[in-house]
């Protein structure tokens, strides 16, 4: 199967629309009206469920210890405002 097969392109398009916050029925309508691609809402749901499952696995992954260090150091950093105007004589 080619990297750019029709099914692969359809799946990427569905994922892109889903990532933009569109509902399954909105995606089905967009695919039909704009792209002239007929996909059932159940087919779209299968694709979006894959994305949800991958996102859930990523969210539940064990974190590396380095994240704790970054989280603890960040509040120590302070930012000084830059005086863009300098001291003007009136």
Domain spans, the chain? 6-76
Least confident of 13-17, 37-41, 86-90: 86-90
Per-residue pLDDT of 48-79, as tens digits, reads 999 999 999 999 999 776 665 555 655 665 66
Summarised one tens digit per residue, pLDDT across range 4-29 is 788 889 999 999 999 999 999 999 99
User: How many other CB atoms sit within 10 Å of the CB of residue 34?
Assistant: 10
Which pLDDT score is estimated for 86?
62
pTM equals: 0.61
User: SS3 of 5, please?
Assistant: coil
Under 8 Å between Cβ of 31 and 39? yes
């Amino acid at each position: 199967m080619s990297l750019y097969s029709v099914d692969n392109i359809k799946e990427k398009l569905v994922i892109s629309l889903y990532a933009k916050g569109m509902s399954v029925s909105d995606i089905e309508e967009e695919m039909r009206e704009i792209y002239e691609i007929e996909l059932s809402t159940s087919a779209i749901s299968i694709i979006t469920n894959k994305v949800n499952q991958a996102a859930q696995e990523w969210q539940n992954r064990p974190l590396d210890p380095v994240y704790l260090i970054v989280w603890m150091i960040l509040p120590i950093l302070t930012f000084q405002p830059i005086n863009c105007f300098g001291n003007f004589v009136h």
